[in-house]
Amino acid sequence: MNNLPIVYHYTTPKSYKGMKTGERYGLRGIRPVSLFIDQIGGLNLPDEAHESVVSTLLDPLPDSWINNREFPGIWGSLAYHLVREDRLVLLSFRLLPSDKAYVVEEAHLFRNKGKSEEAIKKKWTDYWESRITIKKYDGKYSLPSVAIWNPIKLGRIRLETISSHYHEFRRILKNKQEHGDPRVI
């Protein structure tokens, strides 16, 4: 039995349509498209650090992001980044043992704001070194996310909701969590 968690992926309607048809990247499903760490000179990280990943969250409305004392307003910033169009799509899928998935501490990207070459190297090195397998994750990261180094086939993906406005989207999710299984939206 697979006891790995369900993870949540936000996207736009246009990207979701491309996932369903395969027209965007030649794959029906979610393809890693965002570099985990950009190519930055002077970083001594393995090539894998500069590969594309699928970015997900452990909860559709993660309390650690929404009510983070160290980074107040960080969820609003993330939501603003996600809502690039007038609608927002939330997808979910259960991780499989074959997925190359790691929990990472996003707080490293916000804590280390120095502009010196050393500060930049430290930020990205700390971020890379925060990777921990999903099975070993103990829930202690301030801003956890899950980076996945492999594509997710369409058959594994569940459409949770499409919303025309972020605040309406949040209200729908909270209502469904209060009146049912918080992992089944």
CA 86 to chain CA centroid, Å, is 20
pLDDT in tens, 118-153: 888 999 999 999 999 999 999 999 999 999 999 999
The structural domains of the chain, with segments of one domain joined by +, span: 6-178
Q: DSSP character for 48?
A: G
Provide the pLDDT for residue 140.
Answer: 95
DSSP output for 63-131: HHHHT-SSSTTHHHHHHHHH--SS-EEEEEEE--TTS-EEEEETHHHHH----SHHHHHHHHHHHHHT-
Order of strands across the sheet that contains 88-94: 6-11, 88-94, 158-163
Q: How many residues does the chain have?
A: 185
- Residue ranges of the chain with per-residue pLDDT less than 50: 181-185
- CB neighbour class for 143 (10 Å; exposed up to 12, middle 13-18, buried from 19): buried
Instruction: Using alpha carbons only, give the angle 71, 77, 78 rounded to the nearest 5 degrees.
Output: 100
Question: What are the backbone angles phi and psi of residue 132, rounded to the nearest 5°?
Answer: -140, 140
Provide the pLDDT for residue 28.
Answer: 93
Provide the pLDDT for residue 91.
Answer: 95
Provide the pLDDT for residue 87.
Answer: 76
pTM, full prediction:
0.86
